[in-house]
Amino acid sequence: MSDILDVKNLSFGYQKGDLLFDDFSLKLKKGEIKAVVGPSGIGKSTLFELILGNLKPISGTIKSTTHSLVFQDPYSSFHPSYTILNQIKDVCDISDIDRLLESFTLEYELLLKLPHELSGGQLQRASIIRAILMKPQILLLDEPTSALDNIIQLEVMKELLKHLYKMGMLLITHDIDLAKWCADEIIIL
């Protein structure tokens, strides 16, 4: 099976002589989940920005297929003055939405509301549903369950893992136990 993400010999730093990444490599295949773990400020979110093409490496290459991203803060991933449903419809086909709403225990009526009318956990699940509906080959997950309580967190991760057959996942987390539970490989930065 070919790689859907291939990061090769990546070097990057915000300041000259102070590299976050020096000759860093990473591969991801469909069906794999890899966890990126490390303390705040070590470069986990920067790695996603590099993969997304929002930052340019000093050297090295990043080859990537289609991807979507679930942000840590769900309020920053939705426009405040449009309904959740309209924002999902803007970027993807919603023909499969009812099944996903059921599996992520979210009521359809909540999608008719504005982002601030939902709890952080509800909005995060809506963000995950939108990312899956975009049919990416790579799902980038930046602390996707940090806004959820422990029971919902486990349920959401179990549901996410059911989608591994059609994509690969790269998970940023501070939770080493979560990484050990779900990841094929843990990358410590």
Opening angle at CA 168, ends 90 and 108, nearest 5: 40
pLDDT at position 117: 96
Residue 168 DSSP code: E
Q: DSSP 3-state assignment of 78? A: coil
Gyration radius of the chain's alpha carbons:
17
Q: What percent of the chain has pLDDT over 70?
A: 99
pLDDT digits (tens, 9 = 90+) for 62-82: 999 999 999 888 888 999 999
pLDDT at 59 (0 to 100) = 95
The pLDDT, as a whole number, for residue 41 is: 85
Domains of the chain: 3-188 (3.40.50.300)
Residue 16 has pLDDT above 80, yes or no: no
> pLDDT digit string (tens) for 131-170?
999 999 999 999 988 877 888 888 899 999 999 999 999 9
The pLDDT of residue 80: 94
CA distance 36 to 15: 22
Sheet holding 67-70, edge to edge: 67-70, 138-142, 168-173, 33-37, 185-188
